[in-house]
Amino acid sequence: METKRDFLKKMSLLTFGGMVAGSVAPAVASNKNSTPAAGKKVIGLQIYSLGKELTDNVPDGMKKIKEIGYSNLELAGYGNRKMGQYEVEAYKKIVDDSGLKITSSHVNPPERKYTKENVAGIAEFWKKAVEDHVKLGVKYLVQPGLPNIETHDDAKIVCEVYNSAGEIAKAAGIKWGYHNHNMEFKRIMSDAEKAQAPSPSDFWRPKGDILYDLLLTGTDPNLVFFEMDVYWTVMGQADPLDYFEKYPTRFPLLHIKDRLVLGQSGMMNFENIFNKAYANGLSEYYVEIEKTKAGMTQFEGVKGCFDYLNNASFVK
């Protein structure tokens, strides 16, 4: 059976920078010959990247983000109609005062299992969330959490809920989308497929439909977009370039992420990713970093990511 390591080696010709065991030196993705681009690049940051280093002192943290060079923010932490401890209007003022701009926000409804009985309640949640995010001035509202999906019927209900959320957001002038992790690349089998005895061909042609594809094909492109997290797509043993080719209009936003600081793992070919995304009409992208090297603060990691992108010739 193909292992994740075998998959990564095979995919190096398309998306990856040529990963060598034990090496952290980037290959294609290293951009060693690039020079800093002229002018200021508009680089976004998902504030989840900073955790308590930001939430312990939001006004000071926002100033630090601006000083690093970031322009746009994607929020995380909305709940109970507030941003952390702040009313949404107060939070927006802090961001505005720092010189940053809020363009997107990650929000999850409280329900993890969608049923015919609770879809109306989920719609009410999105109505309130949209109302609050109009005050925050966002262009995009993104759900980053995958509901419980085990069957095709589950996927159908989820797509209906996503379309409904998209309609609610669109009426307020906001675009609604979904952000993936790696779980979306599992396969969903029908009852007939589950009942079939395994065969040698299952190794080459696995049974079932990829969940991510069910979400892409089951939602209305006029109501629902997808914010691809390129790192988690790779961890799901999928190639971002394949999805950009197959669904060229569905990914206006990206999460740009690596194992640690951008460009240091050698496994992500960001040049290919950016080139194809720009060709498809990329609107915005946000850096996200979940952890850093030992001894490095999250702010230091975020700065390293900014420097990598700001010095990359393939980033506009």
Average pLDDT of the chain to the nearest whole number: 89
Average pLDDT over residues 158-169: 98
Confidence label for 10 from pLDDT (cuts 50, 70 and 90): very low
Q: Is the pLDDT of residue 95 over 90?
A: yes
- Digit-coded pLDDT (tens) for 172-184: 999 999 999 999 9
Q: Is the pLDDT of residue 149 over 90?
A: yes
Give which of 286, 289, 233 is closest to 261, Cα–Cα.
Answer: 289
- As given in the structure block, the two tokens for residue 192 are 């007939």
Give residue 40's pLDDT. 83
**How far is CA 70 from its chain centroid?**
17
Q: Tokens 């906001």 map to which residue?
A: 174
- Helix, strand, coil tally for the chain in percent (to 5): 45, 15, 45
Cβ atoms of residues 154 and 111 within 8 Å: no
Give residue 35's pLDDT. 36
The rounded distance, in Å, linking the Cα atoms of 124 and 147 is 17
Give residue 122's pLDDT. 98
Confidence label for 276 from pLDDT (cuts 50, 70 and 90): very high
Q: Is the pLDDT of residue 230 over 60?
A: yes
Cβ atoms of residues 217 and 243 within 8 Å: no
Q: Is the pLDDT of residue 220 over 60?
A: yes
Average pLDDT over residues 78-90: 97
Average pLDDT over residues 261-270: 94
Q: Which domains does the chain have, with CATH numbers?
A: 4-15+39-191+205-310 (3.20.20.150)
Give residue 24's pLDDT. 33
Three-state DSSP state, 115: coil
- As given in the structure block, the two tokens for residue 226 are 């997808």
- Digit-coded pLDDT (tens) for 15-53: 444 333 333 333 333 333 333 333 489 999 999 999 999
Burial class (CB in 10 A: 0-12, 13-18, 19+), 249: exposed
Confidence label for 193 from pLDDT (cuts 50, 70 and 90): confident
Give residue 203's pLDDT. 65
Please name every residue paired with 254 in a beta bridge, in sequence order, or none if there are none: 228, 285
- Digit-coded pLDDT (tens) for 105-139: 999 999 999 999 999 999 999 999 999 999 999 99
Give residue 21's pLDDT. 30
- As given in the structure block, the two tokens for residue 90 are 């107060």
pLDDT-above-90 percentage for the chain: 80
The rounded distance, in Å, linking the Cα atoms of 31 and 219 is 37
The rounded distance, in Å, linking the Cα atoms of 292 and 78 is 24
